[in-house]
Structure 1
Amino acid sequence: MDGVKLHDLRCFDAVVAGGSFQAAALALHRTHPSVFAAVARLEEQLGLTLLDRSGYRVSLTEEGRLFHRRAQLALREVEHLQDYAGQLASGEETVLRVVIGDVCPRPGILGLLSRFFAARPRTRLHLDYEAISGPVERLMDGEADLIFHRANPSDPHLERIDLCEVAFVPVAAPGFLPFEDRHDIAPEAMRPFTQCVIRDTARRPSSENFFVIDGAHSCSVPDHMMKKELILHGLAWGHLPEWLIEDELRDGRLISIAGRHIPGRADSVAAVRRRDRPHGPVAEALWQHLRDGQAL
């Protein structure tokens, strides 16, 4: 295979696609003799007869069919390399790192990202999930270009586009709690009952208390879907985003215990990025896409 030319492979592929040397010459804007010579040279270098020239139209030999399959893969890879080099030369990002936080309404966020990246196939979306203070930590540590999560609006290092409000509702399965008035339960009365909480994925967890009852037994889970399952099965109680449990609240599989002592909470979900870091053209386009669309 030493000395095989890319030009010869392209000529061979064009002959197979067009069914003749003349068709290949027209497609490649070459002369008929130059295409014929390129394929002959390739066959000589490989020690293979790739084309059967005995009929009106050339056709692949069995060896030619097997070789052509691999040749097409190689030609496509070369095209990808050329596109990749052009992308690097233009400054366009090859990868954009995005982190979705636990509070995000995932269907809306994922739909938005899907539509954006479908129009930009040269940039790969690297998507991660983090909880509690994990998303902001990844952003501040330079491991994410953009996050969808709650963020401190007064942090001078960050800029944000507010997308929606997410209500968190304290819920339990019917019969899990013995209280007659479920909307007037004191926190200390909840201590005997297991509270389900989300694990902070940050390497340096936040000290902020997210709904945790002091002194109560608790269990931790990685995400709200697992938390919802535990609560539905009567194994714990906890706060869940309203968008995730609308059907269960409506049909009575979950009941709200929100009241003056154990209130719900609303969090603003935003697209957040570093203000003090440069952003490439694809990241800027995504930021503008979010600004134009805004509310989910």
Structure 2
Amino acid sequence: MKLDQLRAFIAVVETGSFRSAADSIHKTQPGISAAVKALEEQYGILLFDRNSYRPTLTAEGHAFFQQSKKLMSQVLQLENLGHDLAQGTEAPLQLCLSQMALDDDCMSRIKAFQLQHADIALDITTDHLYGVQEKLAKNKCEIAIGPRYGLDDRHAFIELNKITMMAVINPDLLATLSANDAKIKQQPLYSIPQILVTNTAENAPENGHQYVLPTGKRWYVNDFQAKKAILLHGLGWARMPKHCIQSELDNGQLVPMEVENFTSQNQLPIFMIRLRHQTQSYQANIFWEMMKNFSNVTRTDL
């Protein structure tokens, strides 16, 4: 199998014909046909059903196309990296941060790193729950920062700090519950949506959430910003990182709530995570050591 053969095959699928594929990648039509036929003969499969007016993917061809696209995307990344290295440009350090971990401590660490290593570019993505560790497993980042979802012997991890998670609600909505006790019973909450951030990982157990009422309405959103907006408008209740809603707690737009037989508030450890078997880049090793050795003195100097 050669890359030119894959490029020809992908071009036929994406343009809809051998002629158009030849024009799009500047090859002859016989050359495109020969490249596709060589792939079919190598693996003993038919990639296209040629009985129709236009070439149509077979079931085997569809599966082969999906993997071919992934491979060519990786090839393109490798080619870009090669060009960057030839020009003396280092690839950026890829980080994945849990949305709930973006507190002052985390941001201060990253700021301190950039002040000392301004020449190292960062490529930062955010995710949630098991999606953070999935980025590591799929080699979409070198280092992740987040809670201990899905960690096992494959991972090396160091606790960086703890964040406070707390159940909160709009005070007007809380007033409708007519709670006379210090703690709200679960049953009155069943009719009020519990707002949850969607777990983005493809292979996570269930939905990844640990603190959910066993019964009741649930609404799912993509991020904590949307979650907070729904809370502020009195459309539901939720557990939130305290640092994300501190100003709303201070001005009374949101209030803490204690729910009976439910973890309404707790401290959640935040870890720096990497894969044990993965070869770390020079930039990743510098980042790991600096984050690990970060002190409160460094943070208060910023």
Contact preservation (8 Å) 1:182, 1:257 = no
Name the SS of the counterpart of 1:98 in structure 2. strand
Change (3 A) 1:153 1:268: farther
Greater Rg over alpha carbons, structure: 1
Q: Which amino acid aligns with 2:223?
A: D
Q: How far is the alpha carbon of 1:83 from its aligned partner? A: 8.3
Change (3 A) 1:240 1:283: same
Offset from partner CA, 1:110-162 (integer Å, 9 cap, x none): 34323323544543311101011100111122221001101269722111121
- 2:189 matched to 1:190? yes
- 2:148 matched to 1:148? no
Name the SS of the counterpart of 1:176 in structure 2. helix
Name the SS of the counterpart of 2:245 in structure 1. helix
Contact preservation (8 Å) 1:162, 1:294 = no
- 2:272 matched to 1:271? yes
Contact preservation (8 Å) 1:168, 1:242 = yes
Q: Which amino acid aligns with 1:192?
A: S
Q: How far is the alpha carbon of 1:278 from its aligned partner? A: 1.4
For residue 126 of structure 1, the aligned residue among 112, 123, 128 is 123
Structure 2 counterpart of 1:221: 221
Q: How far is the alpha carbon of 1:195 from its aligned partner? A: 1.2
Name the SS of the counterpart of 2:201 in structure 1. coil
- 2:176 matched to 1:163? no
Structure 2 counterpart of 1:67: none
Contact preservation (8 Å) 2:95, 2:144 = yes
Q: How far is the alpha carbon of 1:183 from its aligned partner? A: 3.8
Contact preservation (8 Å) 1:169, 1:242 = yes
For residue 110 of structure 2, the aligned residue among 96, 108, 113 is 113
Output aligned runs, 1:230-241, within 5 Å: 230-241=230-241
- 2:98 matched to 1:101? yes
Q: Which amino acid aligns with 2:268?
A: D
Structure 2 alignment gaps of length 5 or more: 1-81
- 2:173 matched to 1:176? yes
Q: How far is the alpha carbon of 1:231 from its aligned partner? A: 0.5
In 1, distance between residues paired with 2:181 and 2:102?
27
Root-mean-square deviation (Å): 2.6
Q: How far is the alpha carbon of 1:199 from its aligned partner? A: 0.8
Q: Which amino acid aligns with 2:232?
A: L
In 1, distance between residues paired with 2:162 and 2:137?
23
Identity within the alignment, %: 18
Normalised by the length of structure 1, the TM-score is 0.64
Change (3 A) 1:82 1:105: closer
In 2, distance between residues paired with 1:233 and 1:279?
45
Contact preservation (8 Å) 2:133, 2:150 = no
Change (3 A) 1:287 1:258: same
In 2, distance between residues paired with 1:115 and 1:206?
36
Offset from partner CA, 1:205-247 (integer Å, 9 cap, x none): 3323332223311211111122111101111111011111223
Structure 1 alignment gaps of length 5 or more: 1-80
Q: Which amino acid aligns with 2:188?
A: A
Output aligned runs, 1:257-268, within 5 Å: 257-263=257-263, 264-268=265-269
Offset from partner CA, 1:227-274 (integer Å, 9 cap, x none): 111101111111011111223223322111124423223210111111
Q: How far is the alpha carbon of 1:182 from its aligned partner? A: 6.2
